[in-house]
Amino acid sequence: MEDNIDIEKYAQKLRMELDEALGRNEELSEEISDHARMLEKTLDNLAGGVGIFELHGNKPAVRYMSKSFYKLFNVTEDQMSGYASDYVMLAIPEDRSALKKQILETITSNKTTVRDIRFTDVNTGGYFWIQVCLSVMSIKKGIIALCAVFIDVTSKMEAELENKAQSEMLRLILQGSGESIIVYDVPTDTLINEKVVDGEMVTTMKYENFYKGIDTNRIVHADDRDAVTGMFRKILDADADSCDRLMGDLRLDLDGGGKCEWYRVLFVPLRDSKKKVRKIFGKYYSINDEKIKSQELQLRAERDSLTGLYNHVTFQHKITDMLESFPGELCAFYIMDIDDFKHINDAFGHYAGDDLLCDVAVTLEEVASAAGGFSGRLGGDEFALFIPIVDRREDVYKLAENIQTRLTTINCSLPHTMSMGISIHRIEGGIDFDLLYSESDQALYAAKRGGKNRYCDYADSADMHSCDSHHSGYTYNDDEGLMLDEISDIAYVADMKTHEMYFLNKAAKRSLGIAENDDSYKGKKCFEITQGGDDQCPFCSNEILVPGQSYVWNHYNSKAKGLYVVKDKIVDWHGRKSRLEIAVDVSDIDKTTQVLADSYDIEDALVNFMANITSKQSSEEKYTSLLEVMGTFYNSKNACLVEYGQDGTGELYYWKSSDEESIEDGLKALVTQKMRDELEKEVLRDEVLIVDRSHPLRNPETEFARMLSDSRIWSLYAVPIIVDDELLGRVFVFNPEKHNGNIRLMKNFAAFIGSEIYQRHLKEDQQFEFTHDKQTKCFNRNSYIDYIRGRKNLSSIGLVAVDINEIRGIAEMFGPDYADDVILQLVGRIRKTFPDERVFRMGYDSFIIICENIEQLKFNVYASRLRENLLYGEFTACCGYVWTDYNIDVRRMEDHAANLLYSEKQRWYEQQDCHSVKWNTLKKDMVKKELEEGLFYVLYQPKMLYPSGKICGAEALVRYSGNDDLADVIDRLEKSRTVKYVDFYVLENVCRDLAKWHEEGMPYIPVSCNFSRMSLIESNVAKQIAAVVDRYGIPHDVVEIEITESVSEQEHDTLVNISNNIHELGFRIAMDDFGTKYSNVAMLAHMGFDIIKFDKSMINDVTVNPVDRTVMCHLINMCNELGMFCIAEGVETEDQADALSSMGLACIQGYLCSRPLEKEKYVEICRERGISQPYTNK
User: Confidence class of residue 607 from pLDDT cuts 50, 70 and 90?
Assistant: very low
Domain assignment present for residue 819? The answer is yes
Q: How confident is the model over 367-378, as pLDDT tens digits?
A: 998 899 999 998
What does the pLDDT read at residue 1041? 94
Residues 6+ apart with CB under 8 A from 656: 631, 637, 638, 639, 662, 663, 664
Share of the chain above pLDDT 70, in %: 80
Answer yes or no: do 1086 and 1099 share one domain: yes
**Which domain, by its residues, includes 415?**
298-460
- For 120-134, 426-440, 643-657, 1076-1090, which range has the lowest pLDDT when averaged over its residues? 1076-1090
- On whether the CB atoms of residues 584 and 564 are closer than 8 A, the answer is yes
Q: What would the mean pLDDT of 1148-1152 be, rounded to a whole number? A: 93
Query: What does the DSSP assignment read for 895-926?
Result: HHHHHHHHHHHHHHHHHT-TBSSSSBTT-HHH
Q: Is 692 helix (H, G, I), strand (E, B) or coil?
A: coil
Task: Work out the end-to-end distance of the chain between its first and last CA atoms, rounded to an integer number of angstroms.
Answer: 146
Q: Given a cut of 60, is residue 46 above it in pLDDT?
A: no
610 found inside a domain: no
pLDDT confidence bin for 614, thresholds 50/70/90:
very low
Question: 29 and 51: one domain?
Answer: no
Domain boundary among 105, 134, 152: 152
CA distance 359 to 407: 8
Residue 1177: inside a domain: no
Q: Judge whether residue 1046 has pLDDT over 80.
A: no
811 and 955 part of one domain: no
What is the structure's pLDDT at 412?
A: 64
**Highest-confidence segment of 133-137, 206-210, 524-528, 756-760:** 524-528
pLDDT per residue as tens digits for the range 565-588: 788 888 767 656 788 888 877 665
The reported pLDDT for the residue numbered 294 is 67
Q: Which of 563, 559, 579, 558 is nearest to 503 (CA)?
A: 579
- The pLDDT of residue 922 is 40
Q: Give me the helix-helix angle, 807-814 and 816-833, nearest 10°.
A: 140
What's the CA gap between 1168 and 1160, in Å, rounded? 13
1148 and 1012 within one domain: yes
Residues 1145, 999 share a domain: yes
Long-range contacts of 904-909 (CB under 8 A, 24+ apart): 904/878, 904/879, 904/880, 905/346, 905/803, 905/805, 905/878, 908/805, 908/876, 908/878
Average pLDDT, the chain: 80
- Cα angle: 616, vertex 621, 627; to 5 degrees: 115
Please indicate, yes or no, whether residues 684 and 535 belong to a single structural domain of this protein.
Answer: no
Q: Domain boundary at 879, 911, 943, which?
A: 911
Higher pLDDT, 61 or 729: 729
Q: Which residue has the higher pLDDT, 670 or 757?
A: 670
Task: Give the confidence band of 948 by pLDDT, cuts at 50, 70, 90.
Answer: very high
Mean pLDDT of 772-800: 85
Same domain flag for 809 and 945 = no
Of 623-632, 880-889, 917-926, 1001-1010, the one with minimum mean pLDDT is 917-926
Domain final residue, candidates 530, 561, 587? 587
Per-residue pLDDT at 592 exceeds 50: no
pLDDT band at 341 (very low <50, low <70, confident <90, very high): confident
- What pLDDT was estimated at residue 378? 85
Residue 28's pLDDT band (cuts 50, 70, 90): low
Query: With 80 as the cut, is the pLDDT of residue 530 above it?
Result: yes
What angle (nearest 5°) sits at the alpha carbon of residue 231, between those of residues 225 and 235?
145
Q: Note the pLDDT of residue 998.
A: 94
| Nearest residue to 690 (alpha-carbon basis) of 623, 624, 742 | 742
Say if residues 329 and 389 touch (Cβ distance below 8 Å).
yes
Helices 619-633 and 744-771, axial angle in degrees (round to 10): 170
* Beta pairing class for 1091-1094 and 374-379: unpaired
- The verdict on 1019 and 1155 lying in the same domain is yes
The one-character DSSP state at 1004 is P
Query: Do 434 and 580 belong together in one domain?
Result: no
Confirm whether 605 is domain-assigned: no
CA distances in angstroms from 524 to 134, 356, 416, 495, 515, listed in the order given: 58, 63, 64, 10, 16
**Whole-number pLDDT of residue 1072:** 86
CATH number of the CATH domain containing 89: 3.30.450.20
428 and 560 belong to one structural domain: no
Q: How far is CA 354 from CA 122, 310, 361, 450, in A?
A: 78, 16, 10, 27
Residues 688 and 835 in one domain: no
Say whether pLDDT at 418 is over 70. yes
Q: Cα separation of 48 and 52, whole Å? A: 14
Taking a C-beta distance cutoff of 8 angstroms, is the pair 99, 91 a contact?
yes
E-only strand ranges, 67-188: 113-120, 127-140, 143-152, 181-185
Pairing of strands 143-152, 127-140: antiparallel
Nearest C-alpha neighbor of 604 from the set 593, 615, 596: 596
The pLDDT of residue 33 is 56
pLDDT tens, residue by residue, 853-878: 999 899 989 999 898 888 877 788 99
Query: In 408-469, at which residue ranges do the beta strands (DSSP E only) sit?
Result: 418-426, 455-457
Most confident of 111-115, 382-386, 682-686, 1052-1056: 382-386
Q: So what's the pLDDT on residue 485?
A: 65
In a domain, 469, yes or no: no
Q: Is residue 429 part of a domain?
A: yes
Within-domain flag for 621 = no
Residue 342 within a domain: yes
Please report the pLDDT score of residue 164 as a whole number: 57
**CATH code for the domain in which residue 941 is found:** 3.20.20.450
> Of all residues in the chain, what percent carry a pLDDT higher than 90?
21
So what's the pLDDT on residue 1026? Answer: 95
Does residue 146 contact residue 132 with C-beta atoms inside 8 Å?
no
Lowest mean pLDDT among 231-240, 252-261, 698-707, 754-763: 231-240
Tell me the average pLDDT across 1127-1154: 93
Q: Are residues 1136 and 1101 in the same domain?
A: yes
- 970 in Cβ contact with 1004 (< 8 Å): no
What does 925-937 look like in DSSP terms, one character per residue? HHHHHHHHTTSEE
Tell which residue, 1025, 1032, 1031, has the closest CA to residue 1067: 1025
Average pLDDT on 1033-1056 reads 73
Q: Residue 891 maps to which CATH number?
A: 3.30.70.270
pLDDT at 200: 66
- Res 414: pLDDT: 58
Contact by Cβ (8 Å): 419, 339: yes
The pLDDT of residue 187 is above 90: no
Residue 656 pLDDT greater than 60, yes or no: yes
Band of residue 1177 on the pLDDT scale cut at 50, 70, 90: very low
- The whole-number average pLDDT for the span 535-545 is 85
pLDDT score of 455: 87
**Res. 360: pLDDT tops 50:** yes
Query: pLDDT tens digit string along 758-769?
Result: 878 877 777 787
In the predicted model, is pLDDT for residue 346 greater than 60?
yes
- Can you give the pLDDT at residue 1116? 92
What's the rounded Cα separation, in Å, for the pair 272 and 597? 18
* Most confident by average pLDDT, 161-165, 658-662, 757-761, 987-991: 987-991
Q: What is the pLDDT of residue 423?
A: 93
Residue 716, SS3?
strand
As for how many domains the chain has, the answer is 8
